[in-house]
Amino acid sequence: MSNEFRHVDDHALWIDPNNTDHLIIGGDGGVYESWDRGKLWRHAQNLPLAQFYRIQPDNAEPFYNVCGGTQDNNSLCAPSRTDVIHGITNADWTIVIGGDGYKPQIDPNDENTIYAQYQYGGLARYDKRTKDLISITPHPASGENQYKWNWNTPLLISPHKSTRLFYAAEKVFQSDDRGENWKAISPDLTRKVDRNKLEVMGRVWSVDTIAKNVSTSIWGAIIALSESPLQEGLIYVGTDDGVISVTEDGGDNWRQTFSVSGVPDMSLVEDIITSVHDENVAYAIFDNHKRGDYKPYVFKTSDKGRSWRKISNDLPEWGSSHTIAEDHVDPNLLFVGTEYGLFFSQNGGRNWSKMTGGLPTIDVRDVEIQRRENDLVVGTFGRGIYIVDDYSPLRTAAVDLKSNAATFFPVKDAWLYLEGNQYGNEKKGSNGNSLYTADNPTYGAVFSYYLKDGYKTLKAQRREQEKKLEEEYKDTPYPSWDALREEDNEEAPTVFVEVTDSQGDVVRRVPANADKGFHRVAWDMRYPSLGPIQLTKPTGYIPPWGHPPKGPIALPGEYTATLKKRQLGKVESLGQSQSFAVKLLNNSVEIATDREALLAAQQKAGDLYRQVQGAVRAQDELSSRIDHVKLAIVETNDSSEEQAQKVRALQADLANIRVLLSGDRTISSRQEPVPWSVSGRTSFIYGSIVSSQLNVSGNHLSSLTIAESEFQRVATLMQQLNNELSSLEQELDGIKAPWTPGRVPSGS
């Protein structure tokens, strides 16, 4: 069985009982399938499975990246969003360094410089541009023992100087020149206990014990490391043997805590973070699962580590905690990752709630905040990386939500760009369902709102009251006919977001959800679609060419969004209006600088498209009316031959109009060239320029002039035909002909 182009560390093997050449093997690299007894392997690349130890977002613009270290599958990075419709594919990931990764660090001022590591302290600096990788691990001095690098060695870029690194084994090392030179700034900060003298399974074992010290981290090493962003030189250190050490002078002096009340001694200090609000505050996570203790231990200090108090409180008792993050705006908003999911607190840790909304119950190993975007980046050990886009609504307390009928949250500025494609004009292109794609964040300006109760129809409100009475075994009086009639005729309440420009003109009304709870909708930064209205929406798979062109692209600039409801014939605003900007992603010199002129051209072509598409639908309606009138004349005894000839003449006229409007099918259906129809020319022009940010070419503008002229002729002919048909339809009433579409009985 070959290992060529296949990951090592196999764990499971299935042999097809009906074809023993067919194998499926599972291991650290995922799932592989072979049809030739293991000579060649196919890798299943569409399984959303990845074990991230730690993750880190950068500050790249316009879209930030996320880097992470995985179990036996390298340290790697990917964009949080792409500018193509497919989302994020496997091809968007970049491997930074091999092995088992931990927490990469990215230069906050240069996203091309990444510090990454592999197990047991293998540290390197990576340049994304050149792909150069240079080892920068601190070396021991002559005669000095090798350092005790943990499997997951802590690495930190100082928040006060981007070229300053901290790295830790049993002692802390500092470099002020990006890892070129190092100095130790601490002594051994562990308990200095000989692990060979510790009991394992109730006793001390001799040297020949199988794998006693193999494939395990050397015990007595630093795991947690954090420097205060508010006080330079205030550094916290946590070890795998339960020691917390603090220095306030960059390492000249250290004080140590060997026991924290409420935490079993020698519990792993898995994470420490320092507050961005108060230099006296820090948070620590302890993990005691190696002793069969799966409780979460989350603690806070308000005196620079001199004392600690528990804030785990009502977190589930079963589920070790691994990491913590503090919101950079609200110091009481905290996030904790546990063995069984992600939890948040809005009151500084007094109470915790589980975050769901698509996040599975999974081991959450790391949580970081991309502060510019207010995004919560979540690293899991088993299901890859999740991002909660703009979690800022969590800064609003639940009690505040309950005091208002509706809450409309602030709106983030939106980048204006056009999504491209590189696999074909669909999410997975023509690659089939096996192509793995992770969704991009929602495109456009995203609106978040909360409805305390939602808005229901009169019938739904009545049934709600009746159900309460039914549960109490009380009468449910039969409604009056007037009440039922009002229910039958009611238009269901709707909620929408109205977007206005800086002049106060309405640009778009975005349909929204009227149900109780939290919702998000997005405006695609376009004016409304100009295609004909359809009361029934198509269902099932719709190819990209089956969608009509969208509306013109809105201008970059300032906008205002207002949440509104329409109920019982009245429109009311809900919550406070929110202002936001549409920002141009000006990533090409080809982009039109005169956006007003571009919008005017798109609107001009769009208005013609609107009229022409209306004419296409109208000709179908005219055809149906003519067919009905033609048959009605046949079925009416008092009809005349003159009327029969009139309707046949109208049918012939409509056929000629159809040729002008939609093309000569007699010739084109036989694969011969015909003049470009008004509909074909207009659809092509509008479809070409409505999804472009470039200046409209003279070719398109001159062709648009032709289309306008030709359509004017078609419109005149259609109006004339409609008038003649309406006159003939009126005659039908006089001869008592059966009803036909378009006729309203006069009653006389």
Output the six-digit token pair for 512. Answer: 């929204």
pLDDT for the residue 405? 94
pLDDT for the residue 537? 81
Instruction: Report the candidate in 2, 7, 42 with the shortest Cα–Cα distance to residue 24.
Output: 42
pLDDT for the residue 740? 95
Give tens-digit pLDDT for 305-336: 999 999 999 999 999 999 999 999 999 999 99
Q: State the chain's mean pLDDT as an integer.
A: 95
How many whole angstroms separate alpha carbon 29 and alpha carbon 5?
11
pLDDT for the residue 217? 77
Q: Which residues pair with 51 in a beta bridge?
A: 381
Reply yes or no on whether the pLDDT at 552 is more than 90. Answer: yes
Instruction: Report the candidate in 210, 258, 208 with the shortest Cα–Cα distance to residue 238.
Output: 258
pLDDT for the residue 1? 81
What 3-state class would DSSP assign to 609? helix
**Which pLDDT band, with edges at 50, 70 and 90, does 218 fall under?**
confident
How many whole angstroms separate alpha carbon 548 and alpha carbon 44?
36
Instruction: Report the candidate in 665, 629, 631 with the shortest Cα–Cα distance to residue 650.
Output: 629
Give tens-digit pLDDT for 140-166: 999 999 999 999 899 999 999 999 999
Q: Are 153 and 169 in contact (CB under 8 A)?
A: yes
Reply yes or no on whether the pLDDT at 675 is more than 90. Answer: yes
Cβ count near 634 (within 10 Å) = 11
Q: Strand 506-512 vs strand 494-501: parallel, antiparallel, or unpaired?
A: antiparallel
Q: Which residues pair with 255 in a beta bridge?
A: 246
How many whole angstroms separate alpha carbon 369 and alpha carbon 371?
6
* Rounded percentage of the chain residues whose pLDDT exceeds 90: 88
pLDDT for the residue 96? 95
Instruction: Report the candidate in 296, 283, 286, 236 with the shortest Cα–Cα distance to residue 266.
Output: 286
Cα distances from 127 to residues 63, 124, 139, 166, 581, in angstroms, run 19, 10, 22, 19, 34
Cβ count near 2 (within 10 Å) = 12
Reply yes or no on whether the pLDDT at 176 is more than 80. Answer: yes
Output the six-digit token pair for 17. Answer: 């009982």
Q: How many helices (H) and strands (E) does the chain have?
A: 8, 41
- For 174-178, what is the mean pLDDT? 98
pLDDT for the residue 292? 92
Helix, strand, coil percentages (3-state) for the chain, rounded to 5, are: 20, 30, 50
pLDDT for the residue 198? 87
Instruction: Report the candidate in 270, 250, 284, 265 with the shortest Cα–Cα distance to residue 150.
Output: 270
Give tens-digit pLDDT for 559-580: 999 999 999 999 999 999 999 9
**Which pLDDT band, with edges at 50, 70 and 90, does 209 fall under?**
confident
3-state secondary structure 393-419: HHHCCHHHHHCCCEEECCCCCEEECCC
How many whole angstroms separate alpha carbon 39 and alpha carbon 107?
43
How many whole angstroms separate alpha carbon 619 and alpha carbon 662?
10
pLDDT for the residue 431? 85
pLDDT for the residue 429? 84
Instruction: Report the candidate in 55, 56, 126 with the shortest Cα–Cα distance to residue 97.
Output: 126
What is the H or E stretch that residue 274 is in? strand 268-274
Q: Are 522 and 445 in contact (CB under 8 A)?
A: yes
- For 370-395, what is the mean pLDDT? 97
pLDDT for the residue 647? 96
Least confident window among 70-84, 177-191, 206-220, 299-313: 206-220
* Rounded percentage of the chain residues whose pLDDT exceeds 70: 100
Reply yes or no on whether the pLDDT at 544 is more than 80. Answer: no
Cβ count near 389 (within 10 Å) = 18
Q: Are 600 and 619 in contact (CB under 8 A)?
A: no
Cis peptide upstream of residue 62 (ω within 30 degrees of 0):
yes
Reply yes or no on whether the pLDDT at 215 is more than 80. Answer: no
Output the six-digit token pair for 176. Answer: 């002020």
Which residues contact residue 224 at a Cβ distance below 8 angstroms, ignoring those fewer than 6 apart?
154, 236, 237, 238, 239, 269, 270, 271, 272, 284, 285
How many whole angstroms separate alpha carbon 95 and alpha carbon 111?
15
Output the six-digit token pair for 424. Answer: 């074909």
For the sheet containing 52-57, what is the strand order? Answer: 52-57, 65-70, 75-79, 94-97
pLDDT for the residue 335? 98
Side chain identity at residue 433, one-letter code: N
HSE-CB of 119 using CA atoms within 13 angstroms: 13
How many whole angstroms separate alpha carbon 20 and alpha carbon 629?
72
How many whole angstroms separate alpha carbon 503 and alpha carbon 646?
53
pLDDT for the residue 344? 98
**Which pLDDT band, with edges at 50, 70 and 90, does 543 fall under?**
confident
- For 54-72, what is the mean pLDDT? 96
Reply yes or no on whether the pLDDT at 427 is more than 90. Answer: no
Cβ count near 716 (within 10 Å) = 10
Spell out where 80-221 has E strands: 88-89, 94-97, 105-106, 113-118, 122-127, 133-135, 155-157, 165-168, 172-175, 183-184
Terminal Cα distance for the chain, rounded: 92
**Which pLDDT band, with edges at 50, 70 and 90, does 581 fall under?**
very high
How many whole angstroms separate alpha carbon 687 and alpha carbon 622?
27
**Which pLDDT band, with edges at 50, 70 and 90, does 220 fall under?**
very high
pLDDT for the residue 548? 78
How many whole angstroms separate alpha carbon 224 and alpha carbon 284?
9
- For 427-438, what is the mean pLDDT? 87
Reply yes or no on whether the pLDDT at 546 is more than 90. Answer: no
Which residues contact residue 295 at a Cβ distance below 8 angstroms, ignoring those fewer than 6 apart?
288, 312, 317, 318, 320
Give tens-digit pLDDT for 584-627: 998 899 999 999 999 999 999 999 999 999 999 999 999 999 99
How many whole angstroms separate alpha carbon 633 and alpha carbon 647?
9
